[in-house]
Amino acid sequence: MQDVLTAIREKCTVQEAGLRLEANEERHVKSAEDMARLFAGHEDALRRSIEIAQSCNFSLDELKYEYPDEPVPEGKTPQSHLEDLTWEGAAWRFPGGVPEKVRDTLLKELALIAELNYAPYFLTVHDIVHYARSQNILCQGRGSAANSAVCYCLAITNVDPTEIDLLFERFVSPERKEPPDIDVDFEHERREEVIQYIYARYGRDRAGLAATVICYRGRLAVREVGKALGLSADTVAALATTIWGLSNSSLPQEYVRQAGLDPSDPLLARVLELTQELIGFPRHLSQHVGGFVLTRGPLSEVVPIGNAAMEDRTFIEWDKDDLDALASSRSMCSVSACSPASARPSRC
């Protein structure tokens, strides 16, 4: 498998890879017994290696994530500023007067936001949405954020949750022990403008797109393994069509025969065996469609970062699951593409 992966990376066959292949099969983490055998007579070096390894301990718990400070008017706190914006929005949403049910809901939500110190996050999303609409970029909040009357009054969403009895606790709740996650869709053609606004506002040293791990699926796996082992393009194409829709299940031999191939052929059998092993294995990192992580200090002090191939983009070399482990991903702005028809203009 290592030889095949090397050939895939080098865009050649295993036979053509030559010295680019590993010289032997020893490049793996060896057991204590193997190390003792290999370094017989050098027990002191082994003991010192263990001492060094034990002194190099590190835990993700040592990384302290802090959400960035949001600018607020002089004399205001993030919470008081959020409350001002919310009641201003409520007056706009309900020009005839804010209904008592809505008022009670807003008071309840704002109290919980204050208790959990989430006001800066709501201000971030409000600012991004305000910018988009000021530039006539169609946008729309969605998901569990639609359960929030505060989001409705901030014009992040366009559904009054009090009219259809949506539960705010599905969005924010002390029992869930998860910060809110507001997804906002922006029209596809102008999404990059919003992304660059976020970079400009927070700086590329404090804002980065999360990564997405692209893993091998059946068709891609068989294509790349087949090419690496020297199968003809026609044979690879025939194999790829037989495994459409299959994931980790083995490929029935009758499917191979239907493609005009001989499943007993040793090379073909080897390709199918390695394909099975490769399915689900990470292939490369890609950028999340719009999931940002924002930090108060330098992003590089919290997560590994890199410059994307696309100009003026910084990305984080961890995906959403990795960031969940760090407990910072839920404090990210999710900026996703959508078709213009699915978003409608609203108040700036």
Same domain, 204 and 235: no
Do 188 and 325 lie in one domain? The reply is: yes
- Whether 164 and 262 map to the same domain: the answer is no
Is residue 52 located within the same domain as residue 21?
yes
Q: Are residues 147 and 112 in the same domain?
A: yes
Map tokens 């980065």 to a residue.
Answer: 208
Instruction: Choose between 180 and 235: higher pLDDT.
Output: 235
Instruction: Give the CA distances from residue 265 to residues 195, 237, 253, in Å, rounded to whole numbers and listed in that order.
Output: 52, 17, 11
**pLDDT tens-digit readout, 189-215:** 999 999 999 999 999 999 999 899 999
Cα Rg of the chain (Å, integer): 27
pLDDT of residue 244: 60
Distance CA 234, CA 94 (A): 65
What is the rounded CA–CA span in Å between residue 185 and residue 15? Answer: 48
Same domain (yes/no): 202, 329: yes
Range of the domain at 276: 217-280
Amino acid at 126: H
Higher pLDDT, 65 or 294: 294
CB 206 within 8 A of CB 260: no
CB atoms within 10 A of CB 124: 23
244 and 196 in a common domain: no
Domain presence at residue 65: no
Q: 338 pLDDT exceeds 80?
A: no
Q: Over the stretch 218-253, which tens digit does the pLDDT of each residue have?
A: 889 999 999 999 999 999 998 888 776 555 556 677
Residues facing residue 209 across a β-bridge: 292, 315
Q: What are phi and psi of 309, to 5 degrees?
A: -65, -35
Residue 348 lies in a domain: no
Task: Name the nearest CA neighbour of 113 among 79, 88, 89, 144.
Answer: 79
Q: Three-class SS of residue 104? A: helix
Is the residue at 69 inside a domain? no
CA distance 57 to 51: 11
CA 150 to chain centroid, in Å, comes to: 26
Taking the mean position of all CA atoms in its chain, how far away is CA 54?
32
Q: Are residues 225 and 259 in the same domain?
A: yes
Total number of domains in the chain: 3
Residue 40 main-chain phi, psi, to 5 deg: -60, 130
Looking at the fold, whether 202 and 261 belong to one and the same domain comes out as no
Statement to judge: residues 31 and 156 lie in one domain? no
